[in-house]
Amino acid sequence: MTAQPAPPPPIVDMEARFAADASGEYRTELQTRFQSELANLKRQLAAGLAPDEFAVANQLKEALEAADVVVTRVWDRQHRS
């Protein structure tokens, strides 16, 4: 049987933290932060913003939603059974 090559070293600290996060605590911490920011942005968007502020807030909202998806997928990939 041939030994598997070692995975490449983590590029960023976040990768190392995901790899060490067997319990999902770090993943949950990030997701909680994303959800908190999303709630704040949604309140701002609902309250009404100037058009340029609305565009920026909406882009940030989309980025936070995408980040949440990425965090889940990366963690899941690193901790498949």
Instruction: Tell me what pLDDT residue 50 has.
Output: 93
pTM of the predicted model as reported, rounded to 2 decimal places = 0.76
Lowest mean pLDDT, pick from 11-20, 27-36, 69-78: 11-20
Longest dimension (CA), the chain: 64
Cβ atoms 45, 61 nearer than 8 A: yes
- Domain ranges in the chain are 25-78
> How many CA atoms, within 13 angstroms, populate the side-chain half-sphere of residue 70?
10
What is the per-residue pLDDT across 38-75, written as a single tens digit (0 to 9) for each? 999 999 989 999 999 999 999 999 999 999 999 999 89
Instruction: Tell me what pLDDT residue 11 has.
Output: 67
User: How far from chain centre, in Å, is Cα 51?
Assistant: 27
pLDDT of 12 higher than 60: yes
